[in-house]
Amino acid sequence: MREEEIEKLRGVVRDCVSKHLYSSAIFFADKVAAFTSDPADIYMQAQALFLGRHFRRAFHLLNASHVVLRDLRFRYLAAKCLEELKEWDQCLQMLGDAKLDEHGNVSDTKDRSVMYLDKDAQDHEINISAAICFLRGRAYEALENRAQACQWYIAAVKADPLCYEALDRLIENHMLTCSEESSLLSSLQFSPEDGWLSSFYTCLIKKQDKENVVEAMFDDVEKENACSPSSDSSFNGTLKNNTDLLACKAEYYHQCGEYQKCFELTSLLLEKDPFHLKCTLVHLAAAMELGQSNELYIMACNLVKDHPQNKATSLEGTFLSSWIGQGNAYAALEEGDQAMLAYRTAARLFPGCHLPTLYIGMEYMRTHSFKLAEQPGNLEEEGLAQTICSSDPLVYNELGVVAYHMKEYKKAVRWFEKTLANIPASMNATWEPTIVNLAHAYRKLKIYPEAIKYYEKALNLSTKSLSTYSGLAYTYHLKGDYSAAITNYHKALWLKPDDQFCTEMLTLALAEESRCDPDSIPGLIS
């Protein structure tokens, strides 16, 4: 057969693949490979078999080739076949021996003669080494060697920052602490035309920073053009309405307690892309905080129908939200042992996420095991949560609660003040209990002016808190300002008329004011 006829058949194969006619692609690719015996045509046949989900046959074809160990394309595709067959040890063997140094760089000591006989393309290709590193990470993760998986995912991103899948696994599986994520991002080498990608990655990992910093990051990405300023392209679109960026911004709003803004944003995004899974999860969390029971029911029904494999720990063991949700459900039922089991499993599977260890500490507090909740020398629960994510104010809030219950009020003040200093957005009603707790701690230390200041600050956020009014009234009472105390006891009793503490203290305050001010006693002439 003439070369032009062979080339025409190759074009038929490529067209069949583009139209997803895989059986036709396999048929014609087989004939081309029979006519030429060219490694490139054998690879094309194996690729068609792989896309047609004939993994065992594709692997046999590649493994029988004399170039499988010399051409990275052959080796990588053969390993991909083994990945689909869940033969993870053989997958790692096919990828060959390689070592990582302490900086995440790959050294392959046995494969100096390896070729990469790829197409003559002008496109910006992802480095084959990055793809191989990522596949190694997938294999190690499947073998539950998460430490090795993490290292190979890091190596994949370092080999080529365009290998987004590796970064996504690191972020979604919480394999790195916040500081480790920042360190990885700073080590990546982006090409000049990929500056927008660097900014986008920054938004993905730095959502715990201060409000002005995070908002500035989002603004930078939204204004980025796909082309560099020096480009003469007429394309001038931006990422302002990109679904992934909006989902990232929604996560930020949820983390800083802006639940209404989060819910409004996710609602708009889901109208545009109803099956955006990451946005769906944030939407559910915001709906839960806002008490949107109807929305939760509708979304739950849709999730069971559309994503059944992702929402149960028995089907998808690496789904963090399921483990946390299971633990919280058991904790609500006061099944402490079952809750701890779920939290500990989550902590083991997601070492870069501080939430499981935080919830473990909170569960200890629920059972009044305050020493276990706080002491890093015992189980390192709260201490580990603080180490993993040092910018999460919720961690410091819980440490303050522990210190308060242990009557270490100076320490409690320090933790509560650090909580407020780390709130990523403007103060809102979400943090009102923290401000009240700080006021309580100052009251216990008899620093009444500071206590009053924070009680009043809490009232600026919410005027329906019995604890705030009673605490403010009691502080004025201790300070000897009975008139202010009486006023605030009345406000507290307006919220809860049968509150025993406020009723008793109001009676006492009235009596003490009468003793101090004879003019206030009816019928008494001074």
Exposure string for 82-115, b = 16+ CB within 10 A, e = fewer? bbeeebbebbbebbbebebeeebebeeeeeeeee
The count of residues in the chain is 526
CATH classification code of 1-85:
1.25.40.10
Torsion angle, alpha carbons of 250, 252, 256, 261, to 10: -20
Closest CA to 142 of 92, 81, 76: 92
First-to-last alpha carbon distance for the chain, in angstroms, is: 126
- Would you state the structure tokens that stand for residue 314, as one six-digit string? 């028995």
**In the chain, domain spans:** 1-85, 315-391
Percent helix, strand, coil in the chain, to 5, is: 70, 0, 30
The residues, any chain, with a CB within 8 Å of residue 248's CB and separated by 6 or more, are 203, 204, 207, 218
- Residue 407 gets the label, from left (phi > 0), alpha (psi -120 to 50) or beta, of left
> What pLDDT, in 10s, does the model give residues 461-472?
888 889 999 999
Task: Give the pLDDT score at 81.
Answer: 97
Range of weakest confidence among 13-27, 296-310, 359-373, 505-519: 359-373
For residue 124, is pLDDT > 80? no
Question: In the beta sheet, which residues pair with residue 71?
Answer: 115
State how far the Cα of 263 lies from the Cα of 162, in Å rounded to an integer.
Answer: 31
Average pLDDT over residues 156-180: 90
Exposure string for 402-439, b = 16+ CB within 10 A, e = fewer? bbbeeebbebbbbbbbebbebbbbeebebbbbbbbbbb
Average pLDDT over residues 275-285: 89
For residue 385, is pLDDT > 60? no
Residue type, 388: I
Task: Give the pLDDT score at 376.
Answer: 46
Residues 9 and 28: beta-carbon distance below 8 Å:
yes
For residue 380, is pLDDT > 50? no
Instruction: Report in angstroms the alpha-carbon separations of 74 from 43, 127, 131.
Output: 7, 15, 13
274 three-class SS: coil
> What pLDDT, in 10s, does the model give residues 510-520?
998 888 765 55
Q: Supply angle C-alpha 338, 344, 347, rounded to 5.
A: 145
Helix (H) or strand (E) holding 100: strand 99-100
- Would you state the structure tokens that stand for residue 125, as one six-digit string? 């290709």
Helix (H) or strand (E) holding 179: helix 178-187
For residue 96, is pLDDT > 80? yes
Q: Supply angle C-alpha 349, 259, 457, rounded to 5.
A: 110
Residue type, 495: L
Average pLDDT over residues 469-496: 93
Highest mean pLDDT (candidates 83-87, 117-121, 407-411, 495-499): 83-87
Task: Give the pLDDT score at 65.
Answer: 86
Closest CA to 132 of 193, 168, 91: 91
Highest mean pLDDT (candidates 99-103, 227-231, 269-273): 269-273
- To the nearest whole percent, how much of the chain has pLDDT over 90? 42
Task: Give the pLDDT score at 113.
Answer: 44
CB neighbourhood size of 360 (10 A): 26
| DSSP sequence for 290-320 | HT-HHHHHHHHHHHHHH-GGGS-TTT-TT-H
State how far the Cα of 401 lies from the Cα of 222, in Å rounded to an integer.
Answer: 40
CATH class of 315-391: mainly alpha
Given the structure tokens 């329906």, which residue do they identify?
464
Residues 400 and 436: beta-carbon distance below 8 Å:
no
Residues 127 and 166: beta-carbon distance below 8 Å:
no
> What pLDDT, in 10s, does the model give residues 296-327?
888 888 888 877 766 655 555 667 777 888 88
pLDDT band at 54; cut points 50, 70, 90: very high
The residues, any chain, with a CB within 8 Å of residue 410's CB and separated by 6 or more, are 445
pLDDT band at 148; cut points 50, 70, 90: very high
Task: Give the pLDDT score at 118.
Answer: 47
Range of weakest confidence among 19-23, 352-356, 423-427: 423-427
Q: Burial level of 43, CB count in 10 A (0-12/13-18/19+)? A: buried
State how far the Cα of 113 lies from the Cα of 99, in Å rounded to an integer.
Answer: 17
State how far the Cα of 386 lies from the Cα of 388, in Å rounded to an integer.
Answer: 6
The answer to whether domain 1-85 and domain 315-391 are alike in fold is yes
Question: In the beta sheet, which residues pair with residue 99?
Answer: 107
- Would you state the structure tokens that stand for residue 384, as one six-digit string? 């580990």
- Phi and psi for 99 in degrees, rounded to 5? -125, 155
The residues, any chain, with a CB within 8 Å of residue 419's CB and separated by 6 or more, are 393, 394, 396, 397, 400, 431, 434
- Would you state the structure tokens that stand for residue 85, as one six-digit string? 């067959």
Average pLDDT over residues 188-197: 86
> What pLDDT, in 10s, does the model give residues 212-250?
677 788 888 877 665 545 444 544 567 888 899 899 999
56 versus 116: which is more confidently predicted? 56
Q: Burial level of 327, CB count in 10 A (0-12/13-18/19+)? A: buried
State how far the Cα of 150 lies from the Cα of 134, in Å rounded to an integer.
Answer: 10
Given the structure tokens 């096919």, which residue do they identify?
94
What beta strand segments (E) does 312-396 contain? none
State how far the Cα of 29 lies from the Cα of 36, in Å rounded to an integer.
Answer: 11
Is the dihedral angle over the CA atoms 62, 64, 65, 69 positive or is it negative?
A: positive
The residues, any chain, with a CB within 8 Å of residue 15's CB and separated by 6 or more, are none
pTM, full prediction: 0.75
Closest CA to 393 of 427, 351, 342: 427
Residue type, 152: W
